[in-house]
Amino acid sequence: MVYRAYIKLLAFLITLTWVGATYASTYTVVDKLDRKITVEVPVKRAVIVISYELIPALNIWNQVAGVSRWAEEHCDLYKAIVKTNPQLRKPTVGAGSDVNVEAVLKLNPDIVITWTYNPNTIKFLEEKGINVIGIYPDSLSELYEVMRIHGKLFGKEKRAEDIISEMKKIFKLIKDRVSKIPMNKRKKVIHLGGKPTTVSGAVGVTNDVIEIAGGVNPANSIKQRNMDVSVEKIIQWNPDVIFIWGSAGYNESWLYNNSQWRFVKAVREHKVYKLPKWSTWSPRLAPVALYMAMKIYPEAFKDIDFEKIADSFYRKVFGISYYNVRQYEGY
């Protein structure tokens, strides 16, 4: 009798262990396209097309089989790391807007993480039996969620939380300073995209960052991510400060030397700044926000050493010095 009870107990424990192991080994993601994707975790072989700056942050080099061409050609962070550690360089699979399906298939990944820009590519890869997660964060809180999803996929949940904590420290520093500025003294700030007349609207991390930096985005009346507007509209908004997307094909001089823009206060007062070519779907959104806040309200941050803070952040989050990475900016 005792022996039988022991056998039953043993069988129960084995079953419980098996169920627990099964539960722990799979993870279901609801992606930006509202699809449920269940994958075995931790993922051993991923192609990361769009969130490649999380590779060094989470230290998942051994779990990544391929990256975006954009990382290889434009990302100073990726370049600095693989220059020192060439064994970490990954094959490229095109960019978020034009994923090379054949290159992806050749790498035989467990999962592909990419932009939702081209749903047909996602559909085609899935038809080939490859799991695909589409991301497209519409806000800072969604960016945090994207990081947490990466943490769960790669077995790095705690590390993801540590990274978010480091970002929040910088955001708090900014908020503490700008909170002292009365609302009626806040400056109007716009962000320009690939074209000088493409403005960032209410949707997306850019609008969140402008607000964290204490700016007022007159384009947030546009309830979408980006929109082309007339120069006359920008003159009507008359922003105090203008930021240009870091990868735009024009710079401050283009605006300063264009007669149409001379009526804009930010242009007249030379308050136009091209941002670094850093991904904003990355932990680097935090130092980007600090950079912007310091340009908008230099008097509130005059005792802040941006490079020192950026270097500390890079070392904690990416394991590399900001100064090492900076030499690859502008490639």
Banded model confidence at residue 17, pLDDT cuts 50, 70, 90: very low
Q: List, for residues 224-274, the tens digit of each pLDDT value.
A: 999 999 999 999 999 999 999 998 999 999 999 999 999 999 999 999 999
Of the chain, the percentage scoring pLDDT greater than 90 comes to 86
Q: Does residue 16 or residue 119 have the better pLDDT?
A: 119
User: Mapping DSSP to helix (H, G, I), strand (E, B) and coil, where does residue 209 land?
Assistant: helix
**pLDDT higher than 80, residue 2:** no
Instruction: Report the mean per-residue pLDDT for the chain.
Output: 92
How far apart (Å, rounded) are the C-alpha atoms in residues 280 and 282?
5
**pLDDT higher than 60, residue 21:** no
**pLDDT higher than 70, residue 312:** yes
Structure tokens at 293: 């806040």
**pLDDT higher than 70, residue 119:** yes
The length of the chain, given as a count of residues? 331
**The residue to which tokens 């490639």 are assigned:** 331
Sequence-separated (6 or more) residues with CB below 8 Å from residue 148: 157, 160, 161, 164
Banded model confidence at residue 108, pLDDT cuts 50, 70, 90: very high
**pLDDT higher than 60, residue 7:** no
Left (φ > 0), alpha (ψ -120 to 50) or beta: where does 321 sit? beta
Q: Does residue 221 or residue 6 have the better pLDDT?
A: 221
The pTM is what? Answer: 0.89
**pLDDT higher than 80, residue 168:** yes
Query: Whose CA is closest to 107, among 86, 127, 128?
Result: 128
- Count Cα neighbours of 47 within 13 Å in the Cβ-side half-sphere: 32
Sequence-separated (6 or more) residues with CB below 8 Å from residue 110: 39, 40, 43, 44, 45, 46, 131
Banded model confidence at residue 97, pLDDT cuts 50, 70, 90: confident
**pLDDT higher than 70, residue 14:** no
Peptide bond into 42 cis (omega under 30): yes
Q: List, for residues 193-229, the tens digit of each pLDDT value.
A: 999 999 999 999 999 999 999 999 999 999 999 999 9
Handedness of CA 127, 130, 136, 142 (dihedral sign): positive
Q: List, for residues 39-93, the tens digit of each pLDDT value.
A: 999 999 999 999 999 999 999 999 999 999 999 998 999 999 999 999 999 999 9
What residues are paired with 95 via a beta bridge? 98
Extended strands (E) in 149-249:
189-192, 198-200, 226-228, 241-244
Q: According to the model, what pLDDT value does residue 6 have? A: 46
Angle, helices 285-296 vs 306-317, to 10°: value is 170
**Spatial strand order in the sheet of 226-228:** 226-228, 198-200, 189-192, 241-244, 272-274
Asked if 60 and 88 touch (Cβ cutoff 8 Å), the reply is: no
Query: Whose CA is closest to 150, among 69, 224, 41?
Result: 41
Average of pLDDT values for 99-122?
A: 93
Q: According to the model, what pLDDT value does residue 19 have? A: 42
Handedness of CA 32, 33, 37, 42 (dihedral sign): negative
Q: According to the model, what pLDDT value does residue 24 have? A: 54
Angle value at C-alpha 240, between 237 and 243, nearest 5 degrees: 95
Asked if 156 and 58 touch (Cβ cutoff 8 Å), the reply is: yes
Banded model confidence at residue 8, pLDDT cuts 50, 70, 90: very low
Banded model confidence at residue 330, pLDDT cuts 50, 70, 90: low
Helix (H) or strand (E) holding 280: none
Angle value at C-alpha 311, between 305 and 316, nearest 5 degrees: 130
Count of C-beta atoms within a 10 Å radius of residue 144: 17
